[in-house]
Structure 1
Amino acid sequence: MTEVLLGSLVIVALIVGMAMGVLILQRRLIPDTGLDIAVNETLHVSARRGDRLLSALHGAGIMIPAACAGSGTCGLCRVTVTGDGAGEPQATERGVLSPRERRAHMRLACQTSLRGDCAVKVPDDVLTSGARFVSKIASTRMLAPLIREIVVDLPKEQSSEFRAGDFMQITAPPYRLDFGTLELPPEYRDAWDIAGWSAMSVTSDAEVTRAYSLATRPEDQGQAVFNIRLAVPPAGREDEVPPGLVSSWLFSVKSGDDITLSGPFGSFHIQPTEREMVYVGGGVGMAPLRAMIHQALSQGTTRRIRYFYGARSAADLFYADEFTQLADRHANFSFSPALSDPAPGDRWTGATGFIHETLRAEMSRHPAPEDCEYYLCGPPVMVSAVLATLGRLGVDRSAIFYDDFGA
């Protein structure tokens, strides 16, 4: 018994000694010295070896957009990085960045692990619009079982001039939320109970920032309007995948609460041409398309505008009355919603099936679909299906502009 005990102690001592030796060697070979990040040749940010570039920039108040929790899938945190301190691009970056972008030293800030000093070039609007500011929530309302509209009153000193298609970043504070305490409209309570969402809970121990598109119309002067989809885990994986950290918090906020924003940012905008515009959306892809359509019509455009929007059932179809009224008032605008799985009680008489099928059916009758301009926003699977449909219709990719919200 004594020999077994002594042997165990010797093994433990060897393991501890080896671990300490590795730590000492690591400190000697890789000194924990401060690093310098030169931003746009005017600012200098301090960082530590091993820090992610995105975290270092955010920590310095340079709010590079990001929407995928650091997984490298949304592609929003593109920056130009020069110097050996950024290392080589990761496999994730090679899957998102084109060869031309990589040759131009483009990197994903969330995937760049710092090894030494480097220089970073960020978009100018990040420096001019990237400062965080606190606003007040004016109102909230449920639009669909998992979609909530949040209207924010912007501070008077904060510009409310947005370009339709822009997005802002929202920062959620640390919090804990039991979903059973959320106030839900009666018409959505059954859906929540059946799906088990009411039994979920989430805890966030630190601030978390995500990007959300603006659904703001010209008449929403002085306000920012967001369509927030609650990111729930896939069915059967509730114990493995947590709900979205920022979207969950946004489902709990009320009128009068503070909210921290930065922006606006964005490059998904209406092109200055005279071509017919075709919009295709799904889910909260509604937000930027709503802003674009309202902006174009309010400016008196004579361009033909078609809007195709896909939802699962009537409960998931929101702003429908608004767009029907727009179509009644504007002869150059039409709204074509489609439901992929209408419920028996929906009494739906419109198009059924996936939205790319409705798009194909209508645009196949168009005399020149290749001469139109296409704006897509929604889930990646929807965007992929629409891109394939447009390819079969002979539409060149240069006429297609889209945002698929990452992965």
Structure 2
Amino acid sequence: MFPIGTFLISVGAISGLSAVLALLMVIADATIANYGEVQLKINDDKEFTVQGGRPLLSTLMGENIFIPSACGGRGSCGLCKLKIESGVGAYLPTELPWISEEEKKENIRLSCQVKVKTDMAIRIPEELFNVKEYKARVTRIRELTYDIKEVYMELLEPSSISFRAGQFIQFKVPEYDLTDEPVYRAYSMSSAPSDTGNVEIEVRLVPNGICTTYVHQYLKEGDTVTINGPYGEFFLRDSERNIVFVAGGSGNAPIKAILSSMIEKGINRKATYFFGARSKRDLFLVEEMRELEKKLPQFTYVPALSEPLPEDKWEGETGLITDVLSRFMKSGDNVEAYLCGSPGMINACIKVFQDKGVPENLIYFDKFA
């Protein structure tokens, strides 16, 4: 019999060798390969001469063409999909979790994972050519909770932005202790679209998060920052259906913007907002939501705590937000849902809505990893 110890050692050696070879390939591609200038053809009518060797996402950004990417190009959000008609190799393992079989037939790729190595022809949705880069000044930073900050920015150049309530921008983080190159992260806008000269976002601190650490520990009022946008399909649909919002943490941002927009447009549909938090210290903008209830006669705000502390003296709803949602919802008839929060929360809520009879095409969501 083949000794199991020898087998394990062999597997370990092969795995180690594979890892070393993979590392050498990455280093070689980054330092030895010189792809020179290549031609990038977009939608048959736009051509650019670019330097080869970089990911398509950052190459396009260098030409002031901005593609949505919530993860900053790490291949962990799946938003930066583009159709590549020629000049690309086989799918990478990092792309496959995000690409459906139908998308494979259409040559849809993740632009953050595909490198521009030769002449390439791609398709970009026309609306993305309206996305702009903005210089802005931070005029206010407000602590909403111990780990969530609200950042309010005045647009400098261009000086105004047009967007739909619920959409997001990308925030540029400069080089600092946690990154040796600029990176982008996506944040939903919490400001109303009528406030065209400013952008407001809510940023929750993630341990060792490049952007969240920068915002919470380095960003100051008066600083000049760079953002680009708007992006996204998360916005209120024009219908007469009842609205159910569900969010947690900084997932509140787009819901707040949509509610503000409803007031400004005189939209008086029945709407219920379920907001999940662990304990009372994780709740924020409660008074603001109560004011919105007064301005929107058919709007109800339902905060719920999953682990209220004795000192909270909480008398409101308790339990996981999915349990609270299930208790309140008797039927999914004539309902459309808008969800924003962690992937786990979103997936659990989708199941509740589907169990109540809400069609999949009427459940809209933004996931924040």
TM-score w.r.t. the length of structure 1 is 0.78
> Structure 2 CA distance, aligned partners of 1:362 and 1:103?
43
1:248-263 equivalent positions in 2, closer than 5 A: 248-251=213-216, 252-263=218-229
State the aligned residue count: 339
Matched, 1:141 2:142: yes
> Structure 1 CA distance, aligned partners of 2:356 and 2:76?
28
Matched with 2:166 is 165
Q: Is the contact between residue 163 and residue 193 of structure 2 (CA under 8 Å) also seen in structure 1? A: no
Shift >4 Å, 4+ stretches: none
> Structure 2 CA distance, aligned partners of 1:330 and 1:33?
59
The one-letter code of the counterpart of 1:244 is: G
C-alpha deviation, 1:71, in angstroms:
2.9
Q: Is the contact between residue 163 and residue 269 of structure 1 (CA under 8 Å) also seen in structure 2? A: yes
Q: 247, 253, 262: which is aligned to 2:212?
A: 247
Q: Is the contact between residue 171 and residue 260 of structure 1 (CA under 8 Å) also seen in structure 2? A: yes
Q: Is the contact between residue 77 and residue 109 of structure 1 (CA under 8 Å) also seen in structure 2? A: yes
The one-letter code of the counterpart of 2:336 is: E
Larger mean CA deviation between 163-172 and 321-330 belongs to 321-330
Q: 377, 382, 385: which is aligned to 2:345?
A: 382
Structure 1 residue matching 2:284: 3-state secondary structure:
coil
C-alpha deviation, 1:55, in angstroms:
2.2
Q: Is the contact between residue 268 and residue 403 of structure 1 (CA under 8 Å) also seen in structure 2? A: yes
Q: 80, 85, 110: which is aligned to 1:82?
A: 85
Map Cα deviations across residues 145-183 of structure 1 (whole Å, 9 max, x no partner): 21100000112743233210111111111123xxxxxxx
Structure 1 residue matching 2:346: 3-state secondary structure:
helix
C-alpha deviation, 1:387, in angstroms:
0.8
Map Cα deviations across residues 56-90 of structure 1 (whole Å, 9 max, x no partner): 1223332222122433221221111110x221222
The one-letter code of the counterpart of 1:326 is: L
- Larger RCO, structure (CA 8 Å, separation 6 or more): 1
1:3-402 equivalent positions in 2, closer than 5 A: 32-40=35-43, 41-49=45-53, 51-83=54-86, 85-130=87-132, 132-155=133-156, 157-176=158-177, 203-217=178-192, 220-232=195-207, 243-251=208-216, 252-364=218-330, 368-402=331-365
Larger mean CA deviation between 245-254 and 380-389 belongs to 245-254
Structure 2 residue matching 1:169: 3-state secondary structure:
strand
Structure 2 residue matching 1:331: 3-state secondary structure:
coil
Q: What residue ranges of structure 1 are gaps of 5+ in the alignment?
A: 1-21, 177-202, 233-242
Structure 2 residue matching 1:92: 3-state secondary structure:
coil
Matched with 1:10 is none
> Structure 2 CA distance, aligned partners of 1:88 and 1:218?
41
> Structure 1 CA distance, aligned partners of 2:117 and 2:34?
10
> Structure 2 CA distance, aligned partners of 1:121 and 1:159?
28
Structure whose CA Rg is larger: 1
Structure 2 residue matching 1:110: 3-state secondary structure:
coil
> Structure 2 CA distance, aligned partners of 1:125 and 1:268?
15
Structure 2 residue matching 1:297: 3-state secondary structure:
helix
> Structure 1 CA distance, aligned partners of 2:365 and 2:275?
14
> Structure 2 CA distance, aligned partners of 1:244 and 1:100?
34
Q: What residue ranges of structure 2 are gaps of 5+ in the alignment?
A: 1-24
Identity %: 34
C-alpha deviation, 1:223, in angstroms:
1.2
C-alpha deviation, 1:219, in angstroms:
6.3
The one-letter code of the counterpart of 2:335 is: C
| Shift in CA distance, 124/158, structure 1 to aligned 2, threshold 3 Å | farther
Q: Is the contact between residue 217 and residue 291 of structure 1 (CA under 8 Å) also seen in structure 2? A: yes
> Structure 2 CA distance, aligned partners of 1:114 and 1:219?
39
Structure 2 residue matching 1:133: 3-state secondary structure:
strand
Map Cα deviations across residues 123-150 of structure 1 (whole Å, 9 max, x no partner): 33332223x2211111001111211000
| Shift in CA distance, 218/126, structure 1 to aligned 2, threshold 3 Å | closer
> Structure 2 CA distance, aligned partners of 1:123 and 1:394?
33
> Structure 2 CA distance, aligned partners of 1:258 and 1:230?
21
C-alpha deviation, 1:283, in angstroms:
1.3
Map Cα deviations across residues 93-126 of structure 1 (whole Å, 9 max, x no partner): 2221222222222211112133422112223333
| Shift in CA distance, 53/345, structure 1 to aligned 2, threshold 3 Å | same
Structure 2 residue matching 1:65: 3-state secondary structure:
coil
> Structure 1 CA distance, aligned partners of 2:91 and 2:147?
36
Q: Is the contact between residue 313 and residue 341 of structure 1 (CA under 8 Å) also seen in structure 2? A: yes
C-alpha deviation, 1:392, in angstroms:
1.3
| Shift in CA distance, 156/47, structure 1 to aligned 2, threshold 3 Å | closer
